Amino acid sequence: MRYTTAGESHGRALLAIVTAVPAGISVDIALLDADLARRQRGYGRGGRQAIESDRVTVLSGVRFGRTLGSPVALSVSNRDWENWTQVMAVSGDKPLDIRETQPRPGHADLAGIQKTGSDDARDILERASARETAARVAAGGVAKSLLAHFGVSISSYVEAIGSVAAAGLDPETVDTQAALSSDVSCPDEEAAALMRNAIDAARLAGDSLGGVFVVRASGLVPGLGSYAEAARRLDAELAAAVMSIPAIKGVEFGLGFEAAALPGSQVHDPIEYQADGGFRRLSNRAGGLEGGMSNGEMLVVRAAMKPIPTLMQPLATVDIDTHQRADASRERSDVCAVPAAAVVGEAEVALVLANAYAEKFGGDCVSDMVSAVDAYRDRVSS
């Protein structure tokens, strides 16, 4: 299962096309819409989210609630487009005075202008905007729907915003329901209050904040991915997918970077065998991944997001016309979008896992896949 997206932030709509979709996936559009709504939420979001009310329209590939086995095309409208029809016109001559010439440090603006030969950062920023991630969340909803047939579920929570970290959250046991009802997606209420304060302070200072989120997937079979081929290693695919989310600067699994400082005896997870449950690890410091494969334990992915580069107290830049010092352009933006990024992280993880299931268990027909997964589970647990 693969996806591609199209669409500009203030264009007419965002599109996702998901290919290699098995036939027979039960798709509940309300669940896709619920994830789109979750992506819009979060303390620290900007004015755009008050304009949008993201909903998915299925353009192809689903009939009477089931995938057909054909590509699934999804559309999410940009309500704000109506306010941008002149700036985003498809044809006609561009008025010179709408050009963006003061690239923001940290955004795609300058390198994008240099790469494409454009004289207008808007040509770049419209696509580089994290608005695009709404299409990913819609595509991820199809992947989550497939995974649900195998009993796999995906959730997330926010662990840190700026320098405020929720201490001692165990990814295995964390209350992700509490995260769902928190406006910073943090299950620790005390930390959540401090996170809100930090966001308020950043907003007052014209600044922005990043943070850390965790995505978990439970119910996985062992052996997804590959120990034998570099490009099919599940950890490599997951890292690439999560790193592809705008502003993500680091990805860890399980103990992650912490493992580098510890002796092997405190890093690796002892194995046991239970007559009723088969092979198990006594701990999950590996975050569900060993040798480039899932090992049957909960997948724990942690990602670091940098602060959003659009600052209301802008950093110094250079005007691309005059080469004179200038203030970076100020776009309406978010102060903090870590809770939203966590939802996008779920979608990216779901898409990689759905693909791994299709590779291992055949990607044509969901009921064939379910039978193959059941037979495999029987085999590997004995």
Give the DSSP H/E element, type plus range, for residue 110: helix 109-116
**Shortest distance, CB of residue 340 to ligand EPS, whole angstroms?**
6
**Shortest distance, CB of residue 104 to ligand EPS, whole angstroms?**
8
Q: Strand 289-290's sheet: what is its strand order?
A: 222-225, 293-295, 289-290
Euclidean distance between CA atoms 348 and 133, whole angstroms = 10
Which C-beta is closer to ligand EPS: that of 249 or that of 332? 332
Which C-beta is closer to ligand EPS: that of 269 or that of 334? 334
- Specify the 3-state DSSP secondary structure of 74: strand
**Shortest distance, CB of residue 208 to ligand EPS, whole angstroms?**
9
Which C-beta is closer to ligand EPS: that of 10 or that of 285? 10
Q: How far is residue 66 from each of residues 110, 133, 153, 300, measured CA to CA in Å?
A: 44, 24, 19, 30
**Shortest distance, CB of residue 42 to ligand EPS, whole angstroms?**
10
**Shortest distance, CB of residue 109 to ligand EPS, whole angstroms?**
10
Burial 343-361 (b: 16+ CB within 10 A, else e): bbbbbbbbbbbbbbbbebb
Which C-beta is closer to ligand EPS: that of 325 or that of 332? 332
**Shortest distance, CB of residue 60 to ligand EPS, whole angstroms?**
24
Which C-beta is closer to ligand EPS: that of 310 or that of 329? 310
Which C-beta is closer to ligand EPS: that of 20 or that of 37? 37
**Shortest distance, CB of residue 9 to ligand EPS, whole angstroms?**
5
Strands 299-305 and 211-218: antiparallel
Side chain identity at 73, as an amino acid letter? A
Largest CA distance in the chain: 74
Which C-beta is closer to ligand EPS: that of 129 or that of 182? 129
Report the interface residues with ligand EPS, using CB under 6 A: 9, 46, 48, 80, 129-131, 133-134, 308, 310, 331-334, 337, 340
Euclidean distance between CA atoms 97 and 120, whole angstroms = 10
Q: How far is residue 365 from each of residues 1, 16, 148, 255, measured CA to CA in Å?
A: 13, 22, 14, 36
